[in-house]
Amino acid sequence: MSQRRKTTSKGLVQRRTFYGLRARWFTLFVLFFILQLVVVYFRIHDVIMVISLHLNIKLDWIRGLEDNCLDFDSKKHGINHLQIPEIDGSSPKPICPKSPPVLYGKLNLGDEDDDVTMDDVIRNNSWVKAGGRHKPDNCIARQRVAIIVPHRNRERHLRQFLRAIHPVMKRQQADYRVFVIHQAGTGTFNKAKLLNIGYREARKEGIFDCFIFHDVDLLAEDDRNLYRCADVPRHLSVGIDKWDYQLPYDALFGGVIAMTTSQFEQVNGYSNEYWGWGAEDDDMYVRILHSCLGLERANYDVARYRMVYHPSDKNNRVNPYRYTLLVGAAERQRQDGLSNLKYNIVSERSMPLYTNITADVGKPPLRSNVSTFGTRVDIVVSLSLLLLMMTLTCCTCVKSRLMHVIMCPRRIP
Ligand SMILES: *[C@@H]1O[C@H](CO)[C@@H](O)[C@H](O)[C@H]1NC(C)=O
Ligand SMILES: *[C@@H]1O[C@H](CO)[C@@H](O)[C@H](O)[C@H]1NC(C)=O
Ligand SMILES: *[C@@H]1O[C@H](CO)[C@@H](O)[C@H](O)[C@H]1NC(C)=O
C-alpha cells in the first residue's frame, strides 16, 4: 500500500489518503459512526432531551404547555397572598407574625459529623413531640406544614437532616410534622411514589395546608428561607453547593418544593411510573405547566442548601426509560398519579423526631419487549446506513485495491 503519494498520468499530486479513503471522508465516517452509536445507546429521545434541558433550549412541547396558559404570568406570587381558610380567628392566641421574629439568617452548619448519634440529636431537640411535631406556644402558625422525606439506606443523612431541620422550623414558628416515608424491601426505588404515599398518609394523620417534599440529603443553609406554601408551587432549593448555587437548568423543580393541598391535587400528585433515579421532578414541572399553575423560586439569596455527600445507591440505578416517560408526561397526567396510587403500609411508627411510615411500593412493570426491539431496529438501521455510505464512497472516490475488492462489485482493471 505505498499509495500515500501518487503521481497521476496528468502529473497532479493526489491528496493524502488512509488506505485509499480520503482523510476528510474518513473523519466524516468516524463522526457519523459515533453519532449513530450515541443515538442507539441513549435512544434518540434522550439525546434531544438531555441536550435541550441542559442547554436550556425550550422544547416545543414545553413551550406549547406554557402558551396554553394565557394567565401563566399574571398570578399573584408570594407566600403572604395565600389564604388559609381553616385558621380560626376567634382563638385566644394571635396569629403569628408574617416574618418570624427570631431568625439567625445564614447558618453555620459546621462539618458533617459522622459520630453524631440519633440519641444526641434527640437530646438536643427534646422539645420536639413524638412523631416529629412542633407548633409555636404563644401564637397560631400561619400554615400547617407536613415535611415529606422519601428514604431508604440513608440513616446517616437522616440524622444530619433531622439535626438541621427541627431548630430551623422552630425558629420559623412553624406548626409542622416530619414524615419519613421509608421504602420497604430492596427493590427498585421509586421516590415519586413515596412522595405521593407521604401526601396520602399525612392527610390521614392530620390537617395540613402545605406540603414540603424534601430530599433527605439537603440541609438548609439559611433559616430566612421560609418553609411555607404560596399561591403557586414554590421551589425552595434554588441554590445547591454541589452546583455552585446555580440552577443547573431552567426546568429544574426538585430537591425541596412546597405545594398546597389543592395545588398537589390539581396536578394529580407525582407520576408513579419513575422507577430508579431521575426525571420524576421534571415530570412534576411538566404537570405544573400543563395545569397552568405557574411556579416561583424562593429568594435566591436565602434559598441555599448544602448537599450531603453520598456514594451512588446500588438499588437506585438511573432509570433508562426516564426521558421516554417524560415526553409522555402531559398525556399521562390524569391517569397516573394520586388517582391510581396503590401501595401497602408495612408499618407506621411514631419516633421521637419523625413519623416512620414504611410502605411497600410494589415492583416496576415488566417492560414490553417493544423497546428492546426498537433498540435493535436502531442498531440494524444505523449499521446498514453506515455500510451503504461506505460502499458508495469506496466505489466512487477510493482507488485502494483492498477496499475496492471488499466493497465494490466491479473489479478494477
Ligand atoms: C447539641 O448541642 C450542643 C450545644 O449547643 C452542641 O455543641 C452539639 O454539637 C449539639 N449536638 C448535636 C448532635 O447537634
Ligand atoms: C422505619 O421502619 C422500618 C420498618 O419498621 C424499618 O425497617 C426502617 O429502618 C425504619 N426507618 C427509619 C428511618 O426509621
Ligand atoms: C420479553 O421477552 C422475554 C424473553 O424473550 C420473555 O420472557 C418475556 O415474557 C417478554 N416480555 C413481554 C412483556 O412480552
Which atom number of ligand 2 is nearest to the Cα of residue 158? 13
Asked if pLDDT for residue 396 goes beyond 60, the answer is: no
CA–CA separation, 106 and 122 (whole Å): 23
Cell of 274: 419513575
Residue 292's pLDDT is what?
84
Residue 181's pLDDT is what?
97
Residue 94 pLDDT level (bands cut at 50, 70, 90): confident
| Section 242-260 average pLDDT | 89
- The pLDDT mean for the chain works out to 80
Residue 6 pLDDT level (bands cut at 50, 70, 90): very low
Which ligand is nearest to the Cα of residue 167, counting in written order? Answer: 1
The percent of residues in the chain predicted with pLDDT above 90, rounded, is: 45
| Section 32-47 average pLDDT | 63
Which atom number of ligand 1 is nearest to the Cα of residue 121? 13
CA–CA separation, 210 and 229 (whole Å): 6
- Helices 280-290 and 60-68: crossing angle in degrees, nearest 10, is 40
Chain center to CA of 16: 50
Asked if pLDDT for residue 36 goes beyond 70, the answer is: no
What one-character-per-residue DSSP string does 116-183 give?
--HHHHHHHTTTSBTTTEE--SSSB-SSEEEEEEEESS-HHHHHHHHHHHHHHHHHTT-EEEEEEEEE
Residue 265 pLDDT level (bands cut at 50, 70, 90): very high
* Ligand 2 binding pocket mutation candidate from 182, 201, 217 (most atoms within 8 A of CB): 182
Residue 61 pLDDT level (bands cut at 50, 70, 90): low
CA–CA separation, 225 and 221 (whole Å): 9
Residue 407's pLDDT is what?
52
| Section 203-219 average pLDDT | 95
Lowest mean pLDDT among 26-35, 49-58, 183-192, 252-261: 49-58
Output 236 or 35, whichever has higher pLDDT.
236
CA–CA separation, 46 and 323 (whole Å): 5
The percent of residues in the chain predicted with pLDDT above 70, rounded, is: 69
What one-character-per-residue DSSP string does 236-253 give?
---EEGGGTTS-SSTT--
CA–CA separation, 292 and 286 (whole Å): 10
Q: How big is the chain, counted in residues? A: 413
Chain center to CA of 367: 22
Q: Other C-beta atoms within 10 Å of 155: how many?
A: 11
* Ligand 3 binding pocket mutation candidate from 363, 366, 369 (most atoms within 8 A of CB): 369
Asked if pLDDT for residue 408 goes beyond 60, the answer is: no
Q: Other C-beta atoms within 10 Å of 75: how many?
A: 17
Beta-carbon contacts of residue 384 (< 8 Å; ≥ 6 apart): none
- For ligand 3, the distance from its centroid to the CA atom of residue 370, given in whole angstroms, is 10
Question: Kind and range of the H or E element at 260?
Answer: strand 256-260
254 neighbors 279 (Cβ within 8 angstroms): no
CA–CA separation, 81 and 228 (whole Å): 11
Residue 412 pLDDT level (bands cut at 50, 70, 90): very low
Give CA separation, 109 vs 160, 222, 306, 373, in Å. Answer: 10, 10, 9, 51
Which protein residue has the closest C-alpha to ligand 3 atom 4? 369
Which ligand is nearest to the Cα of residue 373, counting in written order? Answer: 3
**CB-neighbour burial class of residue 395 (10 A; exposed 0-12, middle 13-18, buried 19+):** middle
Asked if pLDDT for residue 382 goes beyond 70, the answer is: no
Residue 133's pLDDT is what?
96
Beta-carbon contacts of residue 36 (< 8 Å; ≥ 6 apart): 382, 383, 385, 386
Note the pLDDT tens digit of each residue in 349-366.
999 999 999 999 999 887
Cell of 223: 433559616
What single-letter amino acid sits at 50?
Answer: V
Which ligand is nearest to the Cα of residue 154, counting in written order? Answer: 2
Residue 8's pLDDT is what?
46
Cell of 321: 426509560
Asked if pLDDT for residue 20 goes beyond 70, the answer is: no
Q: Which of 358, 353, 350, 356 minimizes the C-alpha distance to 160?
A: 353
- For ligand 3, the distance from its centroid to the CA atom of residue 365, given in whole angstroms, is 12
Give the range with max mean pLDDT: 24-38, 47-61, 156-170, 324-338: 156-170
Which protein residue has the closest C-alpha to ligand 2 atom 6? 358
| Section 167-181 average pLDDT | 96
Asked if pLDDT for residue 262 goes beyond 70, the answer is: yes
114 neighbors 69 (Cβ within 8 angstroms): no
**Is the CB of residue 153 below 6 angstroms from any atom belonging to ligand 2?**
no
196 neighbors 344 (Cβ within 8 angstroms): no
Residue 4's pLDDT is what?
47
Asked if pLDDT for residue 40 goes beyond 70, the answer is: no
Lowest mean pLDDT among 16-20, 98-102, 117-121, 272-276: 16-20
Which ligand is nearest to the Cα of residue 368, counting in written order? Answer: 3
Note the pLDDT tens digit of each residue in 266-297.
999 999 999 988 889 989 988 988 888 888 89
Which atom number of ligand 1 is nearest to the Cα of residue 124? 1
Which residues lie with the beta carbon below 6 Å from any ligand 1 atom? 116, 120-121, 124, 163
CA neighbours within 13 Å on the CB side: how many for 170? 17
CA–CA separation, 358 and 182 (whole Å): 5
Asked if pLDDT for residue 85 goes beyond 50, the answer is: no
**Is the CB of residue 368 below 6 angstroms from any atom belonging to ligand 3?**
yes
Beta-carbon contacts of residue 94 (< 8 Å; ≥ 6 apart): 139, 140
- For ligand 1, the distance from its centroid to the CA atom of residue 176, given in whole angstroms, is 22
Per the listing, cell 440529603 goes with: 217
DSSP state of 340: G
Residue 13 pLDDT level (bands cut at 50, 70, 90): very low
Which ligand is nearest to the Cα of residue 114, counting in written order? Answer: 1
| Section 157-183 average pLDDT | 96
In the chain, how long is the greatest CA-to-CA distance?
107
Note the pLDDT tens digit of each residue in 302-338.
999 999 987 766 767 777 777 777 777 888 889 999 9
| Section 77-93 average pLDDT | 57
**Is the CB of residue 158 below 6 angstroms from any atom belonging to ligand 2?**
yes
Going along the chain from its start, the domains and CATH numbers come out as 1-57+366-413 (no CATH), 80-360 (3.90.550.10)
Cell of 149: 422525606
- For ligand 2, the distance from its centroid to the CA atom of residue 86, given in whole angstroms, is 33
Lowest mean pLDDT among 42-46, 207-211, 252-256: 42-46
| Section 8-17 average pLDDT | 48
- Tell me the H-state helices in 269-321: 280-290
